[in-house]
Amino acid sequence: MPDLHGLILRSNPHVLATGRLIKGLYYSNASTGPHAMAAFYMACDHMLEQKPFLIMDLRSSRYFLDGNRDSCVDETGTLPVPEIDPANFLPAVDGAEELCNENPIGQRQLNNLIAVR
């Protein structure tokens, strides 16, 4: 996956909602500049996964999908416009539907979640 560490986080990483959702975080090259990238994370009950499953480079309209959430790109492509709906990529993400089941969260998911209150 592309390295986001050289960019400035421009959106709030806190998850306020309960249940399963997708949280988008926007990054920029400068604190006042336009958004350069968007990273999409799975979240469950105030817990945000540590690694994004989808990153969109808004400058080139290129997306990077990590379907098994191991930090390696599984699919990449270019969209005709620099807009992306991360929900369209959920069918390609392993275990997305199981993240917030009533059953206890699996050990793999538990290790990849962080509390952000």
Measure the CA–CA gap between 24 and 41, rounded to whole angstroms. 6
Tokens of 9: 């986080």
Question: For 83, phi and psi rounded to 5 degrees?
Answer: -125, 145
pLDDT at 112 over 70: no
pLDDT recorded at residue 113: 55
Q: Per-domain residue ranges for the chain?
A: 8-115
Give the integer Cα–Cα distance in Å for 115 and 113: 7
- The yes-or-no verdict on residue 26 having pLDDT over 90 is yes
Spatial distance between the Cα atoms of 95 and 104, rounded to a whole number of angstroms: 13
What gap in Å lies between CA 57 and CA 84, rounded to an integer? Answer: 10
Higher pLDDT, 82 or 37: 37
Q: How many CB atoms lie within 10 A of CB 108?
A: 11
Is the pLDDT at 76 greater than 90? The verdict is: yes
